[in-house]
């Protein structure tokens, strides 16, 4: 070898080859590896174990505990919002409004947090995270579908549909309906406390209990609404009869106010009575609901 020339015979580089070209083809020993992208900005993802299918199954109970915390947070916001809107749980319209508010807040809460790092407050507390089935980070669309289908998973309440789906999708996936649609699941975060795999009978038992409690709750709400409606109807008819000496068609008046004006709770009738008394005292009848005048005219009240 001539003095001043370079050669790496072990790499097959010819003598005198440019140093830049040689270095680009054959990196020196000890050079740092190329940087790799991280699947999440916080923590390491524990990908589902394809061989044993244990990771999603091991996360089930932490996942349920996380849901309890997340629901408490959502309801803590929902209750004052519903109160400010004067939402009544004694009417069909009120229950529908409460349902829409609840799932709207659920969507905002879960979508807003899970698009950031796959974790809500509850999931971070118990060390679980939303991932795709291959362990990678889910995209915004996947989180949106997953959050949107919470209303389906919760039907008819307390998530029995979602729990049954988690049971049916097996230990390797443990997906609720929203997860199936979005192609996601929930696994442990590296370093989180591990729990043994769930019993084959425990998850379906929990789903059956949730279904039974949901059914009982729905029946109680319907019965309460029916009783309240009947009590309101009787009270309004009696008040109408007393004030008109029984000469008028009080049932006609009540039914028109209920069907056309939506007056089907005691609170609504109390508010109407207050407005009518105020109108008489001040002589300003502009605040009297038009449906009241129509019902009075149609049913010969006064």
- Cβ–Cβ under 8 Å, residues 28 and 42: no
pTM: 0.63
The answer on pLDDT for 294 being more than 70 is yes
For residue 58, give every residue at least 6 positions away whose Cβ sits within 8 Å of its Cβ, in sequence order, or none: 188, 194, 195, 196, 197
Residue 43 CB contacts under 8 Å (≥ 6 apart), including other chains: 117, 129, 189, 190, 191
Return d(Cα 199, Cα 196) in angstroms, integer: 9
In tens, the pLDDT along 260-292 reads 888 877 778 878 888 888 888 888 888 888 888
Looking at the chain, the number of H-run helices and the number of E-run strands are: 13, 2
Question: Per-residue pLDDT tens for 158-208?
Answer: 899 999 999 999 989 999 999 999 999 999 886 555 554 455 677 888 888
Q: 3-state class of 131 per DSSP?
A: strand
Q: What is the pLDDT of residue 239?
A: 67
115-154 pLDDT per residue, tens: 999 999 999 999 999 999 999 999 999 999 999 999 999 9
Q: What is the rounded distance in angstroms from the CA atom of residue 24 to the CA atom of residue 37?
A: 22
State yes or no: cis peptide before 44, omega within 30 of 0.
Answer: no
pLDDT attached to residue 30: 46
What tokens were used for 180? 């199936």
With beta carbons less than 8 A apart as the criterion, state whether 124 and 108 touch. Answer: no
Higher per-residue confidence, 237 vs 74: 74
CA distance 223 to 227: 6
The string of pLDDT tens digits covering residues 150-166 is 999 998 888 999 999 99
pLDDT of residue 237: 64
Instruction: Output the average pLDDT for the chain.
Output: 77
Tell me the average pLDDT across 20-37: 42
For residue 40, pLDDT beyond 50: no
Stretch 242-269: mean pLDDT: 74
Q: Cβ neighbours of residue 158 under 8 Å, at least 6 residues apart?
A: 210, 211, 213, 214, 217
């Amino acid at each position: 070898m001539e003095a001043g020339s370079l050669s790496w015979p072990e790499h097959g580089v010819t003598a005198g080859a440019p140093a830049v070209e040689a270095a680009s083809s054959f990196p020196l020993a000890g050079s740092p590896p190329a940087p790799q992208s991280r699947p999440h900005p916080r923590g390491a993802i524990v990908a589902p174990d394809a061989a044993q299918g244990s990771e999603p199954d091991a996360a089930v109970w932490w996942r349920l505990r996380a849901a309890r915390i997340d629901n408490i947070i959502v309801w803590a916001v929902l209750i004052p919002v519903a109160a400010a809107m004067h939402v009544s749980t004694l009417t069909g319209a009120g229950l529908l409004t409460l349902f829409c508010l609840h799932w709207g807040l659920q969507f905002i809460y879960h979508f807003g947090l899970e698009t950031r790092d796959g974790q809500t407050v509850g999931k971070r507390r118990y060390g679980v995270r939303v991932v795709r089935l291959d362990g990678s980070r889910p995209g915004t669309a996947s989180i949106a579908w997953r959050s949107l289908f919470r209303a389906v998973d919760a039907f008819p309440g307390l998530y029995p549909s979602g729990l049954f789906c988690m049971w049916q999708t097996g230990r390797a996936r443990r997906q609720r309906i929203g997860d199936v649609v979005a192609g996601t699941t929930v696994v442990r975060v590296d370093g989180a406390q591990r729990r043994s795999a769930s019993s084959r009978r425990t998850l379906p038992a929990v789903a059956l209990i949730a279904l039974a409690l949901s059914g009982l709750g729905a029946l109680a709400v319907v019965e309460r609404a029916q009783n309240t409606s009947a009590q309101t109807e009787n009270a309004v008819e009696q008040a109408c009869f007393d004030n008109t000496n029984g000469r008028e068609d009080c049932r006609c008046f009540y039914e028109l106010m209920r069907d056309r004006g939506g007056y089907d709770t005691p609170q609504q009738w109390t508010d109407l009575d207050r407005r009518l008394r105020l109108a008489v005292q001040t002589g300003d009848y502009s605040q009297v609901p038009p449906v009241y005048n129509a019902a009075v005219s149609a049913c010969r009240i006064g």
